[in-house]
Homo-oligomer: A and B are copies of this chain.
Amino acid sequence: MPNVEHITQTVNRYLELVANGSADEIAELYADDATVEDPVGGGEVHIGRAAIRGFYANVENIKSKTELVTLRVAGHEAAFHFRLTLDFGNSGMRIEPIDVMVFDADGKISAMKAYWSPADTVKL
């Protein structure tokens, strides 16, 4: 099973890839049959690595920065608060979600849920 170091590294790698990586690279962090709900309650759960790749492909060309605010690793799961700053050229947006990730025995992300709502976004 994944240990604290592996989970911490994967969360940091995830945030690095969300800012500067490709949808393919992000999808590689997930298990084949993983699920992604982002945001929670948004009405859509992406099931399987292909669907997850598609979800990240929608945003991979937006210029962005990420910054980890707080990380808690417990058991085979992680909860973390991070700052995502999107740069659309003439305008920007900042979102600070709390994400929860569950890891499988191989250390891949088997489930991710992102807690945020449009009310939490700030226009820049």
Chain A residues proximal to chain B, CB less than 8 Å: 4, 39-42, 69-70, 72-81, 96-98, 100, 113-117, 119-120
Contact = CB atoms under 8 A, between A and B. Distances in A.
Nearest to A98: B79
Given A40-B74, A70-B96, 5 more contacts: A4-B119, A70-B81, A72-B115, A74-B117, A78-B115
Copy number in the complex reads 2
A39 B70 contact: no
Q: Which of A69, A80, A115 has the largest number of chain B CB atoms within 10 A?
A: A115
Contact of A72 (B4, B77, B116): B116
A120 B71 CA distance: 10
A96 B80 CA distance: 12
A96 B81 CA distance: 12
B41 A76 contact: yes
- Of all A-B residue pairs in the complex, the 3 with the closest CB atoms, nearest first, are A41-B75, A40-B74, A79-B115
